Chain A
């Protein structure tokens, strides 16, 4: 579809390269830091491949344009950052109601309200628990590198079309704005359903046929909710993804996702040099949550440390899987180097916690 190449680029641009390689030709979005490189990329690159870029008047419009485009059966995308992601919730809920595939990218900033414009991992709950009202979770992927931004967007399209489910890429300012080498290429994941019978394509052109999409559902709870449950059983059985490092002999297991998993890995490598046996479990799919590997990896470990750049959100999922207890500790937003929103979670406080629990 596109020419394979190796380039140095940012995570945000990698989202763009991945989407175009996957055949996405429609972008709808509104400026917000720290994702501004994404709309700029699409505005520049989509016209070259015959695609369409629309700058919207709000994230509310972005998500509703995405809904319209996805209802027509094409690969489309929108991107935003945390406050804009909040504004999208109603539209995302509607996409779940209509069971529309689609990809939403949230390059997180930190904190509630307007937050800061710097990084954070504080949208975990919002992304994984429920898209707006109605309690329908998104299929959520958390990239930890520029390459993964590119690869996961393509995976997101595959999953979203295979299961007709809205997919969220949960990036952040660190992953979005750091530059690394990227291999641009179209990835193959397998066959997808050929017949998109559910799309709005002015189907009346075939006499007698038509399609009306309506999320008002007082009459079909009985079919909708069991179908969604079945869908999630399939997704949970087949689509969980994670990465593990050094867990085979680990006495201490760190569970961490996205950019903070990379920070954790730095601390783990240093601790290993000191002779402390530490391992890493990195959930890649935040929803569905990789429960089994967490249970398995932590079975022989004496201590478990959850690391995320928030007040503790994935922490609750880990507690649910392992049960709360004295063996579980947490390194989060409290351990940043600065108290301002510009602070970062460095390897040092993680290494400190590793040493503390090892002794």
Chain B
């Protein structure tokens, strides 16, 4: 048995220690939440923020963060609920949505596209693990061609199931979006870039600048059928080939 000699990074200050983590071993959602907590801390907006989550593994995210209000939206509807909240609460309040790829890019495609098109001043964290994790790893619009899932047992067939959607690139095309980014949390370098992108997304909203979209690639070891440690490699070697990391847009306020 090895002993922990030194803790380099303790839990973030905003972590609600009373909440027992529900994520599967090797899941990257917890790391992304940490990045969000650090971004909230750095910008100092947590007490005037609301986290609107979708249905899926992102659902209980607000419970992990101290001092934040939360609202669990229906499947795919977080940007609409966030619009209602933002219009009522006003510029001073920060409304963040956190949605998985099943939630945002499948059932919620209309809501995300139109929230962005309406030039809502929101910040969306989009967790892309290329499948419907919560319901058992079914094929999502982001699943890779050839990916074997319970609903694509022969592998995703591009002829009948089409091709993965690249949300960060799609959102970058919309004028109301001022910042569109894709990152990962599989290495310290990528983690830091992702955290900085979240800080930027929050600052954009604080400055009433426009829609900010932050996509984060994640492994889903139980659904992808590999051991937790292999998830880091999977993100690097498989997901990043299909979904290149980068900043797809960083613009000034369009009007």
Contact = CB atoms under 8 A, between A and B. Distances in A.
B69 interface: yes
B88 A26 contact: yes
B91 interface: no
B74 A200 contact: no
B41 to A, nearest CB: 13
A165 interface: no
A64 B68 contact: no
Interface centre among B68, B71, B113 (most CB of A within 10 A): B71
B196 interface: no
Classify chain A: how many residues form its interface, as a range.
35 or more
Contact of B110 (A61, A74, A200): A61
B186 interface: no
Nearest to B114: A57
Contact of B74 (A74, A94, A203): A94
Interface stretch (B47-55, B164-172, B187-195, B220-228): B47-55
Given A204-B48, A211-B69, A61 B87 contact: no
A58 B117 CA distance: 14
B247 interface: no
B84 A56 contact: no
A71 B85 CA distance: 7
B59 A216 contact: yes
A205 B73 CA distance: 23
Nearest to A71: B71
A201 B69 contact: yes
Contacts of A26: 84, 87-88
A287 interface: no
A213 interface: yes
B202 interface: no
Classify chain B: how many residues form its interface, as a range.
35 or more
B32 interface: no
A43 interface: no
A348 interface: no
Nearest to A203: B69
Contacts of A68: 52, 71, 80-88
A64 B84 contact: yes
Nearest to B118: A54
Interface string B30-62: 000000000000000011111010000001101
A203 B80 CA distance: 21
Contacts of B88: 26, 52, 68-69, 72-74, 76
Nearest to B117: A57
Nearest to B63: A212
A65 B80 contact: yes
Nearest to A55: B118
A65 B70 CA distance: 15
A47 to B, nearest CB: 13
B241 to A, nearest CB: 33
Nearest to A67: B81
Nearest to A209: B67
B133 to A, nearest CB: 16
Nearest to A206: B47
A355 interface: no
A290 interface: no
B230 interface: no
A54 B118 CA distance: 9
Nearest to B107: A60
B85 A72 contact: yes
Given A61-B114, A68-B85, A212 B74 contact: no
Interface of A: 26, 28, 52, 54, 56-58, 60-61, 64-74, 76, 90-91, 94, 200-205, 207-208, 210-216
- Give the 9 A-B residue pairs with the shortest CB-CB distance, closest first: A68-B84, A64-B80, A204-B47, A65-B84, A212-B70, A57-B114, A204-B67, A68-B81, A69-B84
Given A65-B81, A66-B84, A204-B47, 9 more contacts: A64-B73, A67-B81, A68-B80, A68-B81, A69-B87, A73-B88, A74-B88, A91-B74, A200-B70
